[in-house]
Amino acid sequence: MTDHKIRDAADFLLTLWREQKRCAALPEALQPRSRAEAYRMQAHHEVVSAEPLAGWKIAATSVAGQKHIGVDGPLAGRYIAERVVASGGAIPFGANHMRVAEIEFAFRVGRDLPPRFQSYSEDEVFDAVASAHPAIEIPDSRFDHFETVGAAALIADNACANWMAIGSAMPEAWRSMDLAAFGPVGHVNDKPAVQGKGANVLGSPRIAMTWIANELSGLGVTLREGQFVTTGTCLVPMAISQGDTVTGDFGVLGTITVKLT
């Protein structure tokens, strides 16, 4: 696709986001024909946003999540700073279509990981990680039936990135812990707790973090110092409504909470 068509497709989706509207699909002439074209559309978010790129998300990191949206692997999405809040903050519910909350591990990058021919190893990636954080994502999509539009369309729609809350840095003990076996718990108001497990995230949050470093490298994109990466939900997404309070309890590693207004 030409740069002009890429911009048109990105602007089409961004207009829907601003107006809190949805569509059945991108117009035929604007549909991405590959993941690479879809990522070019997604990158336009940075061009038109007043705030800088704060970090990245990974969608579809569990087998169940991949089956739910009809993809065969994870997808990367961008988070602009204006869509990120701190623990204890408020997230506008708006016309949210997906109506779920996800509890995730996030990692803050302490040193650039630039594109290169050789794949990054897990050890190399985590040598560059400055800190780990609890996170809550409130995803959404501009497609009426996001479950059926396919991977390229979902990437173009920023991998369902909507709002993200990032908590305080976890104690450094996380570095020596088996994050695959770790079980964060999610709460919505006083409803029964939902138990999660790090292994639900591509086998481990560490594997997911390594995946995105290499996904971005393959796209010619640097994972930069100061950016965060949220690695996907550790538990079955929890149903939410406007007015709810969502909490992620990571036990000895901390907690995070947000209010949906």
pLDDT for residue 63: 86
User: Within a 10 A sphere around the Cβ of 94, how many other Cβ atoms?
Assistant: 14
Neighbours of 28 (CB within 10 A): 6
Judge residue 252's burial from the number of C-beta atoms within 10 Å of its C-beta, 0-12 exposed, 13-18 middle, 19 or more buried. Answer: exposed
Distance CA 143, CA 238 (A): 20
* Cβ contact 159:76 at 8 Å: yes
Give pLDDT, residue 46. 87
Q: What is the CA radius of gyration of the chain?
A: 17
Residue 77's pLDDT is 98
In this structure, what token pair is assigned to residue 175? 């570095």
pLDDT at 45: 85
60-99 pLDDT per residue, tens: 998 888 988 989 899 999 999 999 999 999 999 999 999 9
pLDDT beneath 50, residues of the chain: none
pLDDT at position 47 is 83
Tokens 């570095």 locate to 175
Cross-strand partners of 85: 165
pLDDT of 191: 94
Q: What is the pTM of this model?
A: 0.96
Cβ pair 197, 204 in contact under 8 A? no
DSSP class of 25: S
Residue 165 β-bridge partners: 85, 136
